[in-house]
Chain A
Amino acid sequence: GAVVSQHPSWVICKSGTSVKIECRSLDFQATTMFWYRQFPKQSLMLMATSNEGSKATYEQGVEKDKFLINHASLTLSTLTVTSAHPEDSSFYICSARFSTRGIYEQYFGPGTRLTVT
């Protein structure tokens, strides 16, 4: 299957700092990228959807000014958690999607574990 990478795989930061997470599709061009968040023992929750070159669409309850998403190219999307707080500690997973002959395929990155102290 297609490969999606994320960097960093884990990060520990102090409260009030900003953290940038990169998501790359390595061997395909992703028309759409998704950002999910997963708290312990809970399901993945979609945070936002981004299409290359346009503004991200955020799910209800997700603050767009806190979680900045940039999808500058067909292979790279970034999520910046601004002024992180301990409650932002979570597992952040990106997913990249492309279509071939009308069939959509979606692949996940390995995730970034964020701990805010």
Chain B
Amino acid sequence: RKEVEQDPGPFNVPEGATVAFNCTYSNSASQSFFWYRQDCRKEPKLLMSVYSSGNEDGRFTAQLNRASQYISLLIRDSKLSDSATYLCVVTSMDTGRRALTFGSGTRLQVQP
């Protein structure tokens, strides 16, 4: 089983739609959670961290459910510029060595 699993998509949605991505992780000791965005042929860029209480940044809302080992990202009022691959990322507390573990990503295509 992969450490971090995501639905690969693609999600094809019209502009203005609300779309939700889900992610599950297998390591119960995981402590930090993030959503990254990766555009085609570019490096990943941090979109937002995910906190236990849930957090919102503009049109983006992230939720964490530790009991179910589940993370979500909600995008409201989708824009064409939101088209990208969204990567769920987790890390353990052993940060002396452990790097970020990436999910395979969910591709979003927002259509006019």
What is the interface of chain A, defined by CB distance below 8 A to chain B?
Answer: 1, 34, 42-44, 46, 49, 57, 91, 93, 95, 97, 104, 106, 108-111, 113
Contacts and interface: CB of A to CB of B under 8 A. Distances in A.
B43 A109 contact: yes
Contacts, number: 37
Contacts of B1: none
Contacts of A111: 41-43
A49 B100 CA distance: 11
Which 4 residue pairs of A and B lie closest in terms of their CB atoms, listed nearest first? A43-B104, A108-B43, A34-B99, A44-B102
B42 A110 contact: yes
A8 to B, nearest CB: 15
Given A43-B103, A43-B105, A44-B87, 10 more contacts: A1-B46, A43-B104, A44-B102, A49-B97, A91-B41, A97-B99, A106-B99, A106-B100, A108-B44, A111-B42
B45 interface: yes
A113 B43 CA distance: 11
Contacts of A109: 43
B11 to A, nearest CB: 15
